[in-house]
Amino acid sequence: MSDIPFYNPVSLNNVIALTDQLIEIAAVAGASDLHLEPFPQSMRVRMRVDGLMQLLKTPFDQLPAPTADAIIVRIKLLSGMDISESRRPQDGSFQWQLNDKWVDIRCSSLTGHWGEKLVLRLQWQQQNIDITQQGLSPEQLETVNCQLRKPQGLILVTGPTGSGKTMFLYSCLKQIQTPYINTVSAEDPVEIALQGVHQVAVNNTINLSFSHILRALLRQDPDVIMLGELRDFDSADVALKAAQTGHLLLTSMHTSSISEAMHRCHGLGVDMLALSYCLSLIINQRLVRRLCNQCKQSMSPPQLAAMGSEEWLEAVASYNLCFGVVNLCVPVGCEACHEGYKGRFGVFDPMVMDQYKRDSVAQRRVQELKGESGVWRQGLWRVLSGHTSFAEVNRVTW
């Protein structure tokens, strides 16, 4: 990366070069989002890496106000946004290239007390959406594949915002995609373009909602349907009808547990009896940061001795080496990572429906609905295998 002069904000070349460098810094760091936040006399620049916010290094963490204003105009032009409008929120998008890779960038603007803030979402076109690389154990992978081979039913993925639900749904679509299956999706927006999948994006400006898209997709002779999210009664009602009429439907819901997802469905007015018949698999998941392989260190005897809680001892007793041999490690930190972590993977808690669970859903005894082991238990197994830390599992799952 070349050094960009940090002065003369009026210069068009400087503005273009500095904008490119900010995006390049975020892209090289593997950031999912780049935040340009207004301050009274400057603009703070932060990025989200592996789920956590961090400042860019000096001098890019604080931009002078004139420079920041010019960069905002530059990004809004790239995104196809109205540069004369700063009072109302706007959305736009553009593509950006780093070496031989392309990244789709979605831009959102929102004016606050100190001025206009921009958030750029970076989505690489060449992403690894192989289902075997998402973090499932071999047993869980076989469970998911078994449910994906079924001709009809409803697979529901749950978890809080940023837990990897959409990426997991994409990996499921890629897993079952063949020339002999008609696969379609309704999304808001389309995160990753998949060849062979007819993807339709929600467009509120023309009243094209999830439910409208789903009704239209059902007339497109689909075999597999992906609905980005269950948001309201209309979309949930159409999704249930699709799952009841010979389609495999994959969708997600922003809830922190399986039982909470059923509470939400009931709150939306969903027919719980019909839902109990349709559901074939519910998966609760989280994303945890991976320990950097270049700098992580094995735990010392005193550190190992301190791991003595009842939950930890139960996790040790139940671990069947599904993620590898026992090798507890702690983060250290080096130039190749961020505070000892690099990248993320999923921890999952799948629940396959049986007659008892169907009765629990129909009768709204949702507190009885539990998965195989819970994301907490699988997270501890990942600690045992040296893939993440105890503190990281605590941060994500509690």
Which residue among 89, 107, 124 closes a domain?
124
Residue 263 lies in a domain: yes
Shared domain for 85 and 181, answered yes or no, is no
Question: Helix, strand or coil for residue 118?
Answer: strand
Is 4 within a domain?
Answer: no
Please list, in sequence order, all residues whose beta carbon lies within 8 angstroms of the beta carbon of residue 259, skipping any fewer than 6 positions away.
366, 367, 369, 370
Task: Please check whether residues 268 and 382 belong to one and the same domain.
Answer: yes
| Residue 181 within a domain | yes
Q: Are residues 81 and 194 in the same domain?
A: no
Q: Do 109 and 93 share a structural domain? A: yes
Token pair in block for residue 324: 């590898």
Q: How many domains does the chain have?
A: 2
pLDDT at 318: 92
Domain ends where: 59, 90, 124? 124
- Residue 117 sits in the same domain as residue 199: no
Distance CA 80, CA 82 (A): 7
Low-confidence ranges of the chain (pLDDT < 70): 1-13, 126, 371-372
**Shared-domain flag, residues 304 and 256:** yes
Q: What is the pLDDT of residue 101?
A: 84
Query: How far apart, in whole angstroms, are the C-alpha atoms of residue 62 and residue 68?
Result: 9
Q: In this structure, is residue 370 part of a structural domain?
A: yes
* Cis ω for the linkage preceding 40 (within 30 of 0): no
The CATH number given to whatever domain includes residue 120 is 3.30.450.90
Q: Are residues 76 and 211 in the same domain?
A: no
pTM exceeds cut of 0.85: yes
**363-375 exposure pattern, b = at least 16 Cβ within 10 A, e = fewer:** eeebeebebebbb
* 3-class secondary-structure state, position 8: coil
Do the domain assignments include residue 66?
yes
CATH of the domain at 327: 3.40.50.300
**In terms of residue numbers, what domain contains 207?**
131-397
